[in-house]
Chain A
Amino acid sequence: EAGVAQSPRYKIIEKRQSVAFWCNPISGHATLYWYQQILGQGPKLLIQFQNNGVVDDSQLPKDRFSAERLKGVDSTLKIQPAKLEDSAVYLCASSTYRVGYTFGSGTRLTVV
């Protein structure tokens, strides 16, 4: 089966600019997650979707981050405006149940 697809692989932007990441989960996976992984740390959950509804966004900085999952399939994560501390790898994952949890390759964001 195809894996979780993410794009772009890399992105460099200046602070205060905006950026968007895209994720296409594994077909049939109802649950989609966005994680932020800062260098030297483990991934931290930003937001979890069940189909097109938000299950948990308690750790999403809502003043600058937004995410949507239209039609319960693809998802986009946006940062506007970006700050230097947003430099990280943004991982998308999808699952049907814990055994089916699969990560994408991530987008490395550098904010300069």
Chain B
Amino acid sequence: AQTVTQSQPEMSVQEAETVTLSCTYDTSESDYYLFWYKQPPSRQMILVIRQEAYKQQNATENRFSVNFQKAAKSFSLKISDSQLGDAAMYFCASVSNTGNQFYFGTGTSLTVIP
């Protein structure tokens, strides 16, 4: 089994500033994938960014980037130039290459202050 830990229940950031959300995971798998999902009040889980564990290069999607430290089993999300629409719950998740089940962290609630 895999476990995902998000140690920051709540975070806040000023609009246009940068914020980093933390995530650590534990897995015995050698090949796996890591994800950040955004869940606004509408409850829709929206994929923010995806990282393949075999890739050393950190994934980037516009204002969103990750800092993937495989040895430390750390997978943090950096949001640059924060916007009001970024306010949501953010979930870190992992899935192994041999299975399809996602393991989710408990989430970080992000508030963006105008």
Contact = CB atoms under 8 A, between A and B. Distances in A.
Interface string B82-114: 000000000101010000111011110000000
Interface of B: 4, 33, 37, 42-47, 50, 91, 93, 95, 100-102, 104-107
A56 interface: yes
Interface string A91-102: 101010011010
A40 interface: yes
Contacts of B95: 98
Interface residues of A, number: 23
B102 A45 contact: yes
7 contacts: A31-B100, A40-B107, A42-B91, A43-B45, A89-B43, A98-B100, A106-B43
Interface in A12-33: 31, 33
